[in-house]
Structure 1
Amino acid sequence: MAVPSVSLAIIKDLTGNFSKSNMIGQGGFGNVYKGQLPEGRTIAVKRLKQSALTTKGKNDFAREVEVMVGLRHGSHVCLLITYCNEGKERILISEYMKNKSLNIYTFGA
């Protein structure tokens, strides 16, 4: 199953240009922002830190996209909606789960 990519300009629009007021999480490899799709659905936008863009980081990102394409929450929702691999940006967009981390579904954490 293929997931379409999206432009950085669209992601900036959905997150208020990665506004601090939309930041909902931080991690060693990047930050997570809350965003809103035009039809009203809320999304989580995971943006890889620029410092993580080594060859290994780029390979890890590609592998994460591949793994997430096949993941589903229950049997209903595909967790990865889209991604951005533009210039130096590596971004994953997934379903927003209030008070939950995607790691719970990805790694059982």
Structure 2
Amino acid sequence: MAEIEPLRSVSIDVAQECIQIRTDLPDAELKEIGEFIDSRFSRSAKFQMDNKKRLALLAVELTSEIFELRKQLRRAKVYYDTMEKDVKNLSLLLDEGIARATSGREDDI
């Protein structure tokens, strides 16, 4: 079983703020997350809003994306479950067909 990494305290610069967080994420992943947020945050610079409002806007955008991804994941799971059921049914039909073909050959002998 995989070991759970202990949480560590780190400072991360994101959206023009330095914040202290506790995380088990590796530094490379934290850097990637910070860069992603900074990139998305900078897109709203063209709007004449203070950082607090820009961060709120970004939070709404990202939350909307998360909700959409969750919907897609649910649809994919339904599709996967349906496909898995269909594969089991086809497998049973194949096994049944093989059994009939095999028993038919034995009658010929």
TM range (shorter): under 0.3
TM-score computed with the length of structure 2 as normaliser:
0.28
Higher share of residues assigned strand: 1
Higher share of residues assigned helix: 2
Name which structure has the greater RCO, CA cutoff 8 Å, separation 6+: 1
TM-score computed with the length of structure 1 as normaliser:
0.28
